[in-house]
Structure 1
Amino acid sequence: MNSFNLDFFNAKNGEKTCRLNGKLFHSAYNPSKEAENFSVSQKITFTPSCIVLLEPALSYCAGFLRKQFPSATLIAVRFLQDFSNTDILWDKVLSFSEDGDFSQTLYSALGEEKLLSSLILDWPGSRNIFPETFQKVWQHIKKAVLTARDVLYTREKFSRRWFLNSAVFFNYGRNFYSLKKTAKDVVVTASGPSLHSSIPLIKQHRTSFFLMAVSSSLSVLLSSGIVPDMVVSTDGGFWAEKHLFFNSDTMEKLKNTVFALSDECRCPKNILENHKILPLIYPSSIGEKICSQCRMEESFPALRNGTVSGTAAALALAISSRKVYFCGLDLAAADGFQHTQPNMLEKNAGSGDFRLNTKEKRQTAARFSSGQSLEIYRRWFKSQGEIFCRQLFRVSESGIFSESLEPVKDISWNEISFDAAPSAVEFEKQDNFNKKDLKKIFLEALNDDSLRKELFPLEAVLLEREKDEDKINDLKIEIQKKKSEIEKKLRRLFDE
């Protein structure tokens, strides 16, 4: 695969062609005709959003593919940089390296909708020259497609719930705040087992930093007498709400704590009604549309992420110009408890333990079932940019973790030097949020075709792919049926 093995020469028709170690990338007679025949031979039964071609070499087929699929985005995957002078013929160019995680690169570049409606092709000459490389690339592609499938099915399962959660959020929220950027260090707590070792040190240095708790770690902090400055919750699922259920005495202790909540998250109504809320709004989401129409001018843009820890990390980096230290970010399966105790979900799960279904059996199952999702979360932290990794550190008492997040650095508490006189963090109440037309806005959003991908992601992907008119009509009927069910729930909510 080294460039000095490449031999460029003219084909019989005068066009440039090339070979590597005697094997041809393109025809030695008529490369353009070969590319045209390849392109027109692609007979598919769906409408692709993207055409992805693995190492197209001199890219003769780009023009023919664009002619055959005029609405598709053309993407080349390069194994060699020697053909980069033809990259201009493609809408996007990705590079494959055996040292990197190409599945993450592909997924990040396309997203789940485009990835699941893409046509991915081998360029025959390149496949003949690099058979082992092609095999590895297809393994990465399979991994990316499976990730996209899982994410899409998760969105399909939860999207309507998130929409209704958003309606609850805006309907019951009373005290929306905005946050000014601070020059104070931030400590963020997740609920991994290593958090336990950091608790005494968090207490010791408590006045030296802004303390942000991922919701699953809140019970741990409170049980140790530590009250965070902010609690972050983004999960829209039923069980996520359990992390925020506390008695009135505990909630009184949290009266000055700000709850940074995505509008899609599941949250007890008493928190929405009685506590300070920093709205976390995802770009190009239904929540952003609602904020715009209700004149909420200073919602905080949130980073959509598979784990709340990723969103919390991005939030901490956005609000602070100093260092961010993350405790309990193990992202690794552990023997015994998977979270530092007490944990609200463990408390609920433990109530069902008995002689034939023991705690040990449950914990072992949890350990092995979490492996795939934890790997996805680790890959996300590893793939962030230079500024992210320069400003954010993972910390524990020892500075040692079983799974690396490099280039994110692992440090111990004795390596941290906090500012002796940290600046205050300022919050400002928003009094301009207009709820007058909230019901109307949500009903209009439900019927806005531009938001179809948000509410009905699976059907939206299938509609874009589908060519058969009968199947298209069946999908539209299914969407309308689901819309009617959501509308009934919205009317009940706003008419309570």
Structure 2
Amino acid sequence: MPDRREELLPAKTGVPTARCDGILLHSLYDPMREAEQYLGSLSLPSQPHTFLVLGSCLGYLEHRLSSLYPDAKVLSLQFSSFFKGKEVHSLPSSHCWYPDSDRSVEDFLYERLEGADLQELQILSWKPAFHAYPRTAQSVSEQVLQVLREMGRSLPTTYVFGRRWILNAIKNFLFHFPPYRLPTTPHPICIAASGPSLSRNLPYLRQFRDRYVLWALPSSLFALIEFGLYPDLLIMTDGGNYAPFLLYPYLRDRNRKKPPLPLAFPLTAAFLPPRASLQPVLFHQGTGIERQFLSSFPFPLPYVPPNGTVAGTALELALHTTTGPVVFLGLDLCVENSEEHVRPHPFEELLAGKTSRLHGAETPWLKRIWDQYPERITPKHRTSPALQTYAGWFRMHAHRWENRVFRVSPSPVDTGMEEKPPSFLGTFPPIASYSLQSERHHLSWEERKRIVIKVITKIQASLPTVDPHIARAFDISKVDDGNPLHPRIRVETTLARILKDLGGDL
């Protein structure tokens, strides 16, 4: 607020205190003692790992925390840039965020918080600042909550897939090199998600197919190709074995005359054996194992921040690729009646295979809908905490792509995107051809093997530090070294076996 009156004044003990619009932000007598008493009133663990301080103003909380817990990580989010350079604490500037920062709260937290920090994160709020800066405090608090939801949901993924990410990265580098290059384009990009409303939009996608570049998420691929629509790019980020199952309806049909499938994925995504029908396009998400290979590529791989949902990853990649509009279709983030996905969907075949005369398909399917999507938002729509978290991410970032990112077929779940009718696709002019750029630079199999051997040897030698997320995923410090099932031993055995297969040695 431009008319806000903020001022510094001396406390009786000689240290500074502050006031905003008549609201005293620290004690007029002894701000240091006030901060100490506040911390003493809290039930803090004896050895806390990470503190996140909201609205500390002159930083007396951070100053005291650094004295009490010198080994703890302390991060500060201020509600006013007035206090920049005036704080009494000595935190590095990289651990402090201010409203005039060129980074968002989310970017700051993702940069500074690691997955393991969430387990022992202590959030401290300085109440006078919440009274003096209510709007900023509410905005910052909502963003903090959203990030913690996202990171909390991705943390189990890190723990489960940490070991698999290493193996996926090695195999993808060995067998999908060199990748194709994703060209920049001025053309509109339509991203087909797998919500039930996509079925209603398929005729419009086909009618105006010459007016946009079609990207697809894995769950929508089956429905698209059944309708005669072949995507210009498919985006896959999942690292589990189930992820390629969504691609099998396309890959297994060798008799159909169809174009190759351009597939964009990070090195850590699930490995698919190379074949002529696949055109790999690689990007990276900043994990430690990916960084080991980046210098070996003939061109910089685009960086796409990790996201809880592949739809968010696809949007970030699209904004990196096109200067034109981006349009989502099927991004419902809810179920509609008994429909969880667009149809047909590969999972329906799995369910059909378990049915019999006495055990039908509808009852277990409806039970799953009620169990997995407990929140009823309309008489025919239900959603889940996970989908609400994803919707919150889109809402929180909506200001970044205002007037550029749209959603067709409105859903009752708010994403902050401007809604458009399906006929909106017809407003785009016809586009020229769109194709990937093939890369002539090539590393021989032996050269790739040597690079992988070097990376594996480095990981084997420094497993706990090569990537904090992956290292902690193995719980290295929590298991007895004498146990043959020790996660680190299991990982090192896997790495040793790969080294042996590649002709290297430990």
Shorter-chain TM-score bucket reads 0.7 to 0.9
Match of 1:338, as an amino acid? E
State yes or no: 1:457 paired with 2:472.
yes
Q: Contact conserved, 1:295 with 1:434, CA < 8 A, in 2?
A: no
Q: Contact conserved, 2:146 with 2:393, CA < 8 A, in 1?
A: no
| CA distance in structure 2 between the aligned counterparts of 1:216 and 1:128, rounded to whole angstroms | 47
Matches within 5 A, 1:122-161: 122-123=125-126, 147-161=150-164
State yes or no: 1:264 paired with 2:263.
no
Deviations 1:27-58, CA, capped at 9 Å, x for gaps = 4433334445666998743353x432343344
- Name the counterpart of 1:214: 217
Q: Choose from 481, 487, 490 the match for 2:495.
A: 487
Q: CA offset at residue 193 of structure 1?
A: 0.6
| CA distance in structure 1 between the aligned counterparts of 2:15 and 2:318, rounded to whole angstroms | 55
Larger helix percent: 1
Q: CA offset at residue 174 of structure 1?
A: 5.6
Q: Choose from 183, 192, 195 the match for 2:195.
A: 192
Matches within 5 A, 1:223-262: 223-246=226-249, 248-250=252-254, 253-262=257-266
Q: Contact conserved, 1:172 with 1:269, CA < 8 A, in 2?
A: yes
- Name the counterpart of 1:308: 310
- Name the counterpart of 2:65: 65
Unmatched tracts of structure 1, length 5 or more = 96-100, 464-469
State yes or no: 1:413 paired with 2:417.
no
- Name the counterpart of 2:29: 29
Q: Contact conserved, 1:353 with 1:359, CA < 8 A, in 2?
A: no
Q: CA offset at residue 70 of structure 1?
A: 4.5
Count residues in correspondence.
475
**RMSD of aligned residue pairs (Cα, Å):** 4.3
Q: CA offset at residue 492 of structure 1?
A: 7.5
- Name the counterpart of 1:431: 441
- Name the counterpart of 2:281: 278
Q: Contact conserved, 2:325 with 2:404, CA < 8 A, in 1?
A: yes
- SS across alignment from 1:179: coil
| CA distance in structure 1 between the aligned counterparts of 2:77 and 2:163, rounded to whole angstroms | 36
| CA distance in structure 2 between the aligned counterparts of 1:480 and 1:59, rounded to whole angstroms | 41
Larger CA deviation: 276-285 vs 33-42: 33-42
Q: CA offset at residue 223 of structure 1?
A: 0.7
Larger CA deviation: 199-208 vs 253-262: 253-262
Deviations 1:262-284, CA, capped at 9 Å, x for gaps = 2222243154x652111122224
- Name the counterpart of 1:51: 51
Q: CA offset at residue 75 of structure 1?
A: 3.0
| CA distance in structure 2 between the aligned counterparts of 1:336 and 1:152, rounded to whole angstroms | 30
Match of 1:432, as an amino acid? H
Q: CA offset at residue 206 of structure 1?
A: 1.3
- Name the counterpart of 1:98: none
- Name the counterpart of 1:201: 204
- SS across alignment from 2:420: strand
- SS across alignment from 2:53: strand
Q: Contact conserved, 1:177 with 1:430, CA < 8 A, in 2?
A: no
| CA distance in structure 1 between the aligned counterparts of 2:294 and 2:257, rounded to whole angstroms | 30
| CA distance in structure 1 between the aligned counterparts of 2:13 and 2:160, rounded to whole angstroms | 56
Q: CA offset at residue 200 of structure 1?
A: 0.8
Larger CA deviation: 68-77 vs 437-446: 68-77
| CA distance in structure 2 between the aligned counterparts of 1:421 and 1:128, rounded to whole angstroms | 54
- SS across alignment from 2:293: helix
Summarize the Cα distance change of 1:9–1:322 in structure 2 as closer, same or farther, 3 Å threshold: closer
Summarize the Cα distance change of 1:175–1:14 in structure 2 as closer, same or farther, 3 Å threshold: closer
Q: Contact conserved, 2:17 with 2:27, CA < 8 A, in 1?
A: yes
Q: Contact conserved, 1:286 with 1:454, CA < 8 A, in 2?
A: no
Unmatched tracts of structure 2, length 5 or more = 374-383
State yes or no: 1:375 paired with 2:379.
no
Q: CA offset at residue 378 of structure 1?
A: 0.9
Summarize the Cα distance change of 1:382–1:87 in structure 2 as closer, same or farther, 3 Å threshold: farther
- SS across alignment from 2:336: coil
| CA distance in structure 2 between the aligned counterparts of 1:23 and 1:401, rounded to whole angstroms | 43
Q: CA offset at residue 483 of structure 1?
A: 2.3
| CA distance in structure 1 between the aligned counterparts of 2:18 and 2:75, rounded to whole angstroms | 21
Matches within 5 A, 1:60-99: 60-70=60-70, 72-78=72-78, 86=86, 89=89, 91-93=95-97
Q: CA offset at residue 150 of structure 1?
A: 3.7
- Name the counterpart of 1:320: 322
- Name the counterpart of 2:376: none
TM value normalised by structure 2: 0.78
Match of 1:212, as an amino acid? W
Q: CA offset at residue 179 of structure 1?
A: 2.2
Match of 1:410, as an amino acid? E
State yes or no: 1:347 paired with 2:349.
yes
Percent identity over the alignment is 22
| CA distance in structure 1 between the aligned counterparts of 2:266 and 2:4, rounded to whole angstroms | 54
Larger CA deviation: 238-247 vs 248-257: 248-257
Larger CA deviation: 173-182 vs 335-344: 173-182
| CA distance in structure 2 between the aligned counterparts of 1:124 and 1:196, rounded to whole angstroms | 50
Deviations 1:165-221, CA, capped at 9 Å, x for gaps = 222222332662112211222111111111111111111111222211111111111
Q: CA offset at residue 367 of structure 1?
A: 5.1
Match of 2:495, as an amino acid? E
- Name the counterpart of 1:467: none
- SS across alignment from 1:282: coil
- SS across alignment from 1:427: coil
Q: CA offset at residue 479 of structure 1?
A: 5.1
Match of 2:494, as an amino acid? I
Deviations 1:326-352, CA, capped at 9 Å, x for gaps = 111111232212101111122213322
Summarize the Cα distance change of 1:79–1:458 in structure 2 as closer, same or farther, 3 Å threshold: same
Deviations 1:437-478, CA, capped at 9 Å, x for gaps = 154134224323442424223467x96xxxxxx989899x94
State yes or no: 1:329 paired with 2:331.
yes
Q: Contact conserved, 1:331 with 1:403, CA < 8 A, in 2?
A: yes
Q: CA offset at residue 253 of structure 1?
A: 3.7
| CA distance in structure 1 between the aligned counterparts of 2:222 and 2:31, rounded to whole angstroms | 66
Summarize the Cα distance change of 1:493–1:82 in structure 2 as closer, same or farther, 3 Å threshold: same
- SS across alignment from 1:177: coil
| CA distance in structure 2 between the aligned counterparts of 1:387 and 1:30, rounded to whole angstroms | 43
| CA distance in structure 2 between the aligned counterparts of 1:388 and 1:134, rounded to whole angstroms | 24
Summarize the Cα distance change of 1:440–1:107 in structure 2 as closer, same or farther, 3 Å threshold: closer
| CA distance in structure 2 between the aligned counterparts of 1:445 and 1:136, rounded to whole angstroms | 43
